Structure 1
């Protein structure tokens, strides 16, 4: 019997943000590729009121089509009003009000069996509201900040807990994330750990010397892959590498910390050794990772970072902090080191891996259990179980 899924995601790529939520896109494509599964994607776009809506970023989003084919998926992009900086608590009711007529119309034409909310906030509370209105059971997946931030913010924590309480089923990206959900009062028996995937054909072993030459690099290379925000810890890596001569640091990602990080590199005499690559297209990441000796990401919090798995699949060992599912991933010495979020500890781990690099094939073996096929199959099983329940059960 065909399973009809409405995937609800505020974390989904579009023409203006091709890297935004690309892991949700991959997961949804994996689900849609399953036999007897029909997926419709609802990717709401938040737009502020005039005159803020005239900003170039929002103007570009306003120009996106309301419905399109994206990577073989039918994607609807309804607009809803937002209040930048202060409006997080209002997103669920505003989004629900804006998208309910569309969902009602789609559901009346070809009824959905289940709603798959890909992020706990605001997607989870919106899915709960849609479920109560239309009688469709829903599932919510916890990924990281949706639990660590929105699940603890006094303005939104109750909505997160309610979404978890009334869901037909729950997903967590790691066992550690499941424990964090339980700490918020969610029932452990209703939470399934659902690991991410990685495209093993694209993220693969390559000749490191050739990859470095192709990118104009030489000598040891450390890469940090993540948004330039304090939580990711790029400043700690810059401070660590100031103690290691001749190591080049690649910062892949963009964000509000770029100016401060550039200034820090200058103060530490690192300006010539730190390259800000900005937001690199996802298709180009394998080449940059292939040129890296180490991927460092000393985050303050994570779920189970896709960047970790992608680096390992390229044979690149990790230096990461004790965050989220770090120990679930680094289950063998060849995979890298888990260290305190301190420059000295990071520096020592990087120096150790550079002095005695692990066999890239052994590093890659750590990531071989992750695939989008397995991810999609597990998601189908979970959603079929949810679809068999009454909304609110």
Structure 2
């Protein structure tokens, strides 16, 4: 099978962690030997010299083309109007991608199916392109594209149109599948294809001595929490910082970057816990695994999550988690060996869950064994089954 994977959520040399979960899933799928893939990962056009665009200017630095894990990835530009272009974004994206895809086909890669990720604007644009090139489209819902965007009238209408006309719909958790069905999408069309975890990359240290050595190298002392994710309000880092007031012997490391950095630093000072909070900045997965393994618990206080990969990454390193009970997270943290779900999403609720986790004295080996049930094999097989069914029906 020849796939064209289509999504703005895909890493590039300038933003290597952006949408890495889409790349990881595709990499495992291609490794099956059953599919060939090319990637079109549209990037908003912005002049690199336009400092007034702030973070948007970073998009301009993405390469036009690169090869990642042996897969050819194109980053063609499309026009994006910040703040006011939300309703026309799918159309603008699709129009800009038509000549790109026409060239791909002309050069000999006449793909069988468009594999799109994130419903808006990506999935809607993919559906427009599928209609134009007469190709079936599968769209995978990943989180806020279904939990938040359908609340807006026009995007919601376009999301439902894309779902109704797609050959198949995937979701990364059962909670998102249920939500899609509640939006009126045919239940028979929606398949849950949960994310897995790279069990080779994310693994425990080889013994207590190795873990102690890494803790010393990372300057970690005493009971230490780790929080990983964008420094954005949805991630709830402020609640995790606030929990330190109730956990006097605990320290916190936060890995990630984003617009909330200065506010979170100010909050830590205001609460007089800044001496126990370390902002690590963004870290590549090759480094992040050491922090996971060295921490005593991973905390995720998000208000929304489709399927939080960081939870499985932590568990695969043997570190149990504390997480808020939102969307797909209870499907990830479904056993005591995995960790504890907060009873209340607040600073006090975070602290109470951390205390419960400490009292449980979960064995790190048991947490690793739990994570081993989430390899990518089942997801890869689920995708192959879905794609074969669609192509068998269409041809």
TM-score range, shorter chain: over 0.9
Aligned-partner SS, 1:122: helix
Structure-1-length-normalised TM-score: 0.94
Q: 1:24 to 1:305 in 2, by over 3 A?
A: same
Which moves more between the two structures, 349-358 or 335-344?
349-358
Give 1:38's match in structure 2, choosing from 36, 49, 66.
36
Deviation sequence 1:116-138 (CA, Å, 0-9, x none): 00111111101110111111000
Which moves more between the two structures, 97-106 or 369-378?
369-378
Aligned-partner SS, 1:74: strand
Give 2:275's match in structure 1, choosing from 272, 277, 300.
272
Number of the residue aligned with 1:250: 253
- State whether residues 66 and 78 of structure 1, in contact with CA within 8 Å, keep that contact through their aligned partners in structure 2: yes
Give the Cα–Cα distance (whole angstroms) in 1 for the partners of residues 213 and 360 of structure 2: 20
Higher helix share: 2
Number of the residue aligned with 1:285: 288
Number of the residue aligned with 1:47: 45
- State whether residues 46 and 57 of structure 2, in contact with CA within 8 Å, keep that contact through their aligned partners in structure 1: no
Instruction: Tell me: higher relative CO, structure 1 or 2? Use CA pairs within 8 A at least 6 residues apart.
Output: 1
Matches within 5 A, 1:194-273: 194-206=193-205, 207=208, 208-273=211-276
1:176 aligned onto 2:180: no
Number of the residue aligned with 1:126: 125
Aligned-partner SS, 2:150: coil
Gaps of 5+ in 2: none
Which moves more between the two structures, 303-312 or 84-93?
84-93
Number of the residue aligned with 1:357: 361
- State whether residues 137 and 389 of structure 1, in contact with CA within 8 Å, keep that contact through their aligned partners in structure 2: no
How far 1:211 moved relative to its partner? 2.6
Number of the residue aligned with 2:392: 388
Give 2:67's match in structure 1, choosing from 60, 69, 86.
69
Give 1:348's match in structure 2, choosing from 349, 352, 375.
352
Give the Cα–Cα distance (whole angstroms) in 1 for the partners of residues 123 and 77 of structure 2: 18
Give the Cα–Cα distance (whole angstroms) in 1 for the partners of residues 189 and 237 of structure 2: 36
- State whether residues 48 and 83 of structure 1, in contact with CA within 8 Å, keep that contact through their aligned partners in structure 2: no
Structure-2-length-normalised TM-score: 0.94
Aligned-partner SS, 1:377: helix
Q: 1:27 to 1:85 in 2, by over 3 A?
A: same
1:16 aligned onto 2:19: no
How far 1:197 moved relative to its partner? 1.5
- State whether residues 329 and 366 of structure 1, in contact with CA within 8 Å, keep that contact through their aligned partners in structure 2: no
Aligned-partner SS, 1:84: coil
- State whether residues 30 and 375 of structure 1, in contact with CA within 8 Å, keep that contact through their aligned partners in structure 2: no
Give the Cα–Cα distance (whole angstroms) in 2 for the partners of residues 57 and 237 of structure 1: 26
Give the Cα–Cα distance (whole angstroms) in 2 for the partners of residues 51 and 69 of structure 1: 26
Q: 1:55 to 1:326 in 2, by over 3 A?
A: closer
Aligned-partner SS, 1:68: strand
1:97 aligned onto 2:67: no
Count of residue pairs the alignment pairs up: 389
Number of the residue aligned with 2:303: 300
Give the Cα–Cα distance (whole angstroms) in 1 for the partners of residues 180 and 56 of structure 2: 33
Deviation sequence 1:20-54 (CA, Å, 0-9, x none): 11111111111222224110100111124798488
Give the Cα–Cα distance (whole angstroms) in 1 for the partners of residues 167 and 184 of structure 2: 16
1:117 aligned onto 2:120: no
Give the Cα–Cα distance (whole angstroms) in 2 for the partners of residues 56 and 344 of structure 1: 35
